Structure 1
Amino acid sequence: MEPDIVIIGSGIGGATLAAALAPTGRRVVILERGRRLADCPEARDDKAIFGRGHFRPDEIWFTPEGAAFNPGNYYYVGGNSKFYGAVLIRYRAEDFSPLRHRGGTTPGWPISYDAFEPWYQAAEELYQVRGDAGQDPSEPRHSGAYPHAPVPDEPAIADLRARLRRVGLRPASLPLGVDIARWLDRARTPWDAFPDTTGAKMDAETVGIARALAHPNVTLETGALATRLVAGADGRVTAVEYVKDGVPGRITAPLVVLSAGAVNSAVLLLRSGLANRSDQVGRNFMNHNSSAVLALHPLRRNDAIYQKTLMVNDFYLTGGVDGTPLGNIQLLGKISGPILAATARLPAPLANWVASHAIDLYAMSEDLPDPASRVTLAGERIVLDWRRSNWAAHEALVTKLKGLLRRAGFPIVLSRAFDRRTPSHQCGTARMGRDPATSVLDIFCRAHDHPNLFVVDASFLPTSAAVNPALTIAAQALRVADHITSRDLGA
């Protein structure tokens, strides 16, 4: 029997949409190119994950100059969220309006924060977020409380929080989707960049897919790689072509939802020749400007296990040239000696010493949309021409953070920028908007050119802001599900 809705991809967008549509009784089929990630020793082995790249796919993308690189995306049920840091934070209200940065002015969103806020609240409840909205002065209005109290600071991080306050900062608890007791019961490791195999991290599989598959009308097809969308003369998508276990397949449905990730969704649209009347598919690629910042004191050890419970937004909306924004600061998951040896290529003894004495932070600044920053195809090759923007603001954020950390009692502060091999929140390649001439999707993520095609992943984001995008993607997926249901689409 033909399904009512086909969803391509089981990451945060696709999984959340499926969970919201499942109770309607519509027949939903989810096509996921990856498999379930089973529990295994490597799931909590830092050497396997960071040193050997055990879970990384054998995938190659290219720069415009022809240089090959492994992008570090993950293809499992749940997508990249299987390895995410479980940070479920809202865009600030100011992000929804045009905002002047050192590198330019953002276009803002085609909808307001107030219109979007109820979906943030619903997404926080679905993903069981741990947080406290009263700690951060930049926090936008919430219509309800977080479902759970924040994940507690470990002693070294409680000390850091106090030190940051003494130098005039206002640290706040990170809103997180993780059951810390359950996570540590499996093994005493960080969760950031470690895959969830026990349901302790609130990712797309453990929440969205699990909720969806509790209903008999939802089916998950793993190992099914979508290769092309087919549309008729009237613009309606008539079929999805895919390959499963080496065998070509074809599926039809009244409604098709693309949620394969910002790069792969754009690739599928380009390969299919769809949704590109505006010539915006693949354009406006954004990938946060990010750096790791390590703060050390040679006489103090950091014995934290997971570490990632704190953020600073004092410079989110100001602090730069002429009062322009700089970005968000948050903790990384605790970096171990093997992680540092693998990523910074340090000798093992030095890496172990640095790791045991360092507190590891993550500085993140907004990357502004630029039509020349884009995803294209060269035959079957995926070509990523990422053109960093607003980099001077990011450098200013890192410089300011390093100075404050020294004042807070850390005489040694090191930093290193992330490069294109790290998928630091890729987004923007099929942005939504009200004008079909300048956007790919409408405000409910339906393609302007195709009445039965939606794109519900980070592709739709018109701006990257300077926070982790997972909660915003989930909130939009719930909003889109409500739109589909209330208008009886795909029934």
Structure 2
Amino acid sequence: MTPQDARTRHWDVIVIGAGMGGGMAARRLAEQGLSVLVVEKGPRGYAQEQQELDETMSDPHARRIRGYWPKPVQATVNQRQMRFFAPIGCGVGGTSAFYAGTLERPERHDLEDTAEIPHPTGGWPVGYDAFTPYFEQAEALLHISGTHDPLSREAPSDLGPPPEISAGETAMITEMRADGLHPYRQHLAFRNLPGCLVCLGHKCPRKCKMDGRSAGLEPALETGNAVLLENCDVTEINYDTRSVTGLTVVHAGVTHTLNAGYYVLAAGALGSPRLLLMSDRTNPKGCANSSDWVGRGLMFHLNEVFALWPKRHQRFEGATKAVSLRNIYTVDGARMGMIQSLGLEVSFNNIAAYLARLYDRSVLGRIPKLRYLTNIPALVAAKVLGKAKVFVGILEDLPYPENRVLVDADDKEVPSFVYSLPAELLHRRQIFRRQIKKTFKGYRTMLMGQRPELNYGHPCGTLRFGRDPETSVLDANCKTHDLDNLYVADSSFFPTSMGVNPSLTIAANALRVGDVITSRLKTR
């Protein structure tokens, strides 16, 4: 559809963004019979493409046509300025088309204040039981496979059987259980078709990996009720005192206005608040920002990557995302996070890519000519690490108002944010690192990094939902407090980051938002 055609229709709902949140919301709305227009900055892409999200490619046009965000991030972390290409997608499926392989449920204390583990914010405005049916629906639509976490107090999920793993990995799980650990098969969004390519870190050409494209937008389009407008930039949200009145978009250099009854913002935790802040013609503070919390509360996770060697009588073969553990999800009431196999071979190429990313985000990143020197320690590390398996611990982040998304003064297309590592997070990190070593004391392990490593693929929290309009942007239904027809369906709504990958919760909430809007439209 062209913008000229789109602007002649009054849509039930316009969804901004076609990632995990936008795709799943569009599917739910379209399957309920509503007319849905999905506006996506990037391209639809091709069914058979399989490229990775290349953080070294720098040409904006080349990046955009491949589904990468075209501009580098401008970040100030602990008062140090950095400019680098973050793992952010720009196209149908968004970042989820490249990643989103692991979709794990949070635990009850992630959302609620419990007797054993108090919640740092008092709890989300919507509790675990209210989310449960949407977790179940999202797991079914995304074909999640895996096994039940033996430490969970919740009823087992109805998951598909996990794919077969190697004898070495089976032995690893058996040995971990004998050592008193509680591994389970990681919850993965793969249909496990014959000849599955296990598309970790790149697009899937076979509709086997389930993401915002394959499980969200494409089924929405198949209903005939949803239409995609690709390569279209939303530059401003127009609004009056009560509601959004339209969107200003630019397509092929021409400006248009699009209209709907309801609007769903799903441009990502860095993109959604930026668009609201840019929409400042009516209010200098930006759209839906009476609380001054738009863009604030930015969270990531801290990654603790470590190598784990097999015991002498074992062999770890292949690189699969086979194992998750929650043995140190909390430690003495402190919030930590889960541990999972990363799905990477300990090879020169993977180590070199990892070191290059660290280099780009260091003070030396301004000297790109020296970047190739990271190949030397990569060669040494590949030889030393040998047959180790790579795991990652995901340490929960918490919201602070000073950690926030900004609008870049020179180029509004550039994702920009400031972030400082709080002392309590650094303290929890030290506990987490010690506990990783203690948990795997029967194995030889090596923590792979000394400095804290933010997971830039997991931004969240910048349009938090809550009960109090003075300290949150959204209400319990993810509708903005200020405007009656504007909802949010990406990770921006998180009040806390939880100790798991965010994708399943994004998908579940997007389905919930779809139901809220459908109910409103059908009862008018």
Aligned residue number for residue 161 of structure 1: 173
What amino acid is aligned across from residue 387 of structure 1 in structure 2? S
Aligned residue number for residue 376 of structure 1: 406
Whether the 8 Å contact between 1:192 and 1:332 is mirrored in structure 2 is: no
**Greater Cα shift, 149-158 or 23-32:** 149-158
C-alpha distance after superposition, 1:278-324 (max 9, x if no partner): 1100011110111211123697753214x20211101113x2xx442
Aligned residue number for residue 304 of structure 2: 291
**Greater Cα shift, 283-292 or 376-385:** 376-385
Aligned residue number for residue 241 of structure 1: 248
Instruction: Report the CA distance between 1:7 and its aligned residue.
Output: 0.3
Instruction: Report the CA distance between 1:211 and its aligned residue.
Output: 1.2
Provide the rounded CA distance (Å) in 1 between the counterparts of 2:253 and 2:166. Answer: 48
The answer to whether residue 27 in structure 2 is matched with residue 19 in structure 1 is: yes
Provide the rounded CA distance (Å) in 2 between the counterparts of 1:130 and 1:417. Answer: 34
Instruction: Report the CA distance between 1:162 and its aligned residue.
Output: 2.1
Aligned residue number for residue 333 of structure 1: 343
Instruction: Report the CA distance between 1:346 and its aligned residue.
Output: 3.9
C-alpha distance after superposition, 1:332-356 (max 9, x if no partner): 0123431112222343644544565
The answer to whether residue 151 in structure 2 is matched with residue 137 in structure 1 is: yes
Whether the 8 Å contact between 2:302 and 2:454 is mirrored in structure 1 is: no
TM superposition score normalised by structure 2:
0.83
Aligned residue number for residue 10 of structure 2: 2
Aligned residue number for residue 266 of structure 1: 273
Provide the rounded CA distance (Å) in 2 between the counterparts of 1:82 and 1:417. Answer: 30
Whether the 8 Å contact between 1:106 and 1:369 is mirrored in structure 2 is: no
Provide the rounded CA distance (Å) in 1 between the counterparts of 2:174 and 2:121. Answer: 34
Going from structure 1 to structure 2, the CA distance change for 1:358 and 1:252 (only over 3 Å counts) comes to: same
Identical amino acids, percent of aligned pairs = 31
Whether the 8 Å contact between 1:337 and 1:356 is mirrored in structure 2 is: no
Instruction: Report the CA distance between 1:101 and its aligned residue.
Output: 11
Provide the rounded CA distance (Å) in 1 between the counterparts of 2:161 and 2:174. Answer: 19
Instruction: Report the CA distance between 1:433 and its aligned residue.
Output: 0.9
Instruction: Report the CA distance between 1:447 and its aligned residue.
Output: 0.6
Instruction: Report the CA distance between 1:118 and its aligned residue.
Output: 1.0
Going from structure 1 to structure 2, the CA distance change for 1:454 and 1:57 (only over 3 Å counts) comes to: closer
Provide the rounded CA distance (Å) in 2 between the counterparts of 1:150 and 1:239. Answer: 45
Provide the rounded CA distance (Å) in 2 between the counterparts of 1:392 and 1:151. Answer: 38
TM superposition score normalised by structure 1:
0.89
Provide the rounded CA distance (Å) in 1 between the counterparts of 2:335 and 2:99. Answer: 25
Whether the 8 Å contact between 1:16 and 1:474 is mirrored in structure 2 is: yes
Whether the 8 Å contact between 1:430 and 1:441 is mirrored in structure 2 is: yes
Aligned residue number for residue 41 of structure 2: 33
Whether the 8 Å contact between 1:290 and 1:394 is mirrored in structure 2 is: no
Provide the rounded CA distance (Å) in 1 between the counterparts of 2:107 and 2:433. Answer: 21
Structure 2, unaligned runs of 5 or more = 1-8, 280-285, 356-373
Going from structure 1 to structure 2, the CA distance change for 1:355 and 1:251 (only over 3 Å counts) comes to: farther
Instruction: Report the CA distance between 1:42 and its aligned residue.
Output: 6.2
Going from structure 1 to structure 2, the CA distance change for 1:356 and 1:214 (only over 3 Å counts) comes to: farther
Going from structure 1 to structure 2, the CA distance change for 1:181 and 1:356 (only over 3 Å counts) comes to: farther
The answer to whether residue 250 in structure 2 is matched with residue 217 in structure 1 is: no
**Greater Cα shift, 441-450 or 338-347:** 338-347
Provide the rounded CA distance (Å) in 2 between the counterparts of 1:26 and 1:266. Answer: 26
Whether the 8 Å contact between 1:32 and 1:222 is mirrored in structure 2 is: yes
C-alpha distance after superposition, 1:101-154 (max 9, x if no partner): 999924420122112111111111111110222x42125335x622x1123332
Instruction: Report the CA distance between 1:159 and its aligned residue.
Output: 2.3
**SS of match in other structure, 2:144:** coil
Provide the rounded CA distance (Å) in 2 between the counterparts of 1:78 and 1:41. Answer: 13
C-alpha distance after superposition, 1:227-268 (max 9, x if no partner): 110002x32111111222332222111111100000100000
Whether the 8 Å contact between 2:13 and 2:260 is mirrored in structure 1 is: yes
Q: Which of residues 304, 311, 314 in structure 1 aligns to 2:318? A: 304
What amino acid is aligned across from residue 322 of structure 2 in structure 1? T
**Greater Cα shift, 394-403 or 427-436:** 394-403
**SS of match in other structure, 2:270:** helix
Provide the rounded CA distance (Å) in 2 between the counterparts of 1:241 and 1:420. Answer: 37
The answer to whether residue 423 in structure 2 is matched with residue 407 in structure 1 is: no
Whether the 8 Å contact between 2:304 and 2:395 is mirrored in structure 1 is: no
What amino acid is aligned across from residue 462 of structure 2 in structure 1? T
Provide the rounded CA distance (Å) in 2 between the counterparts of 1:100 and 1:59. Answer: 45
Going from structure 1 to structure 2, the CA distance change for 1:354 and 1:346 (only over 3 Å counts) comes to: farther
Q: Which of residues 175, 188, 191 in structure 2 aligns to 1:179? A: 191
Instruction: Report the CA distance between 1:32 and its aligned residue.
Output: 0.7
Whether the 8 Å contact between 1:280 and 1:440 is mirrored in structure 2 is: yes
What amino acid is aligned across from residue 90 of structure 1 in structure 2? R
Correspondences of 1:408-447 after superposition (within 5 Å):
408=443, 410=444, 412-416=445-449, 422-447=455-480
Provide the rounded CA distance (Å) in 2 between the counterparts of 1:125 and 1:40. Answer: 24
Provide the rounded CA distance (Å) in 1 between the counterparts of 2:237 and 2:125. Answer: 27
Going from structure 1 to structure 2, the CA distance change for 1:487 and 1:149 (only over 3 Å counts) comes to: same
Aligned residue number for residue 368 of structure 2: none
C-alpha distance after superposition, 1:145-173 (max 9, x if no partner): 22x11233323322221232232211111
C-alpha distance after superposition, 1:49-89 (max 9, x if no partner): 47668764441222345442322211121011012141111
Aligned residue number for residue 363 of structure 2: none
**SS of match in other structure, 2:407:** strand
**Greater Cα shift, 239-248 or 151-160:** 151-160
**SS of match in other structure, 1:63:** strand
**SS of match in other structure, 2:132:** helix
What amino acid is aligned across from residue 141 of structure 1 in structure 2? A
Whether the 8 Å contact between 1:4 and 1:255 is mirrored in structure 2 is: yes
**SS of match in other structure, 1:416:** coil
C-alpha distance after superposition, 1:355-406 (max 9, x if no partner): 6512010101110111111112242354311223423222322222134334
Q: Which of residues 423, 429, 451 in structure 2 aligns to 1:394? A: 429
Going from structure 1 to structure 2, the CA distance change for 1:480 and 1:30 (only over 3 Å counts) comes to: same
Provide the rounded CA distance (Å) in 2 between the counterparts of 1:235 and 1:346. Answer: 56
**SS of match in other structure, 2:287:** coil
**SS of match in other structure, 1:5:** strand
The answer to whether residue 209 in structure 2 is matched with residue 208 in structure 1 is: no
Structure 1, unaligned runs of 5 or more = none
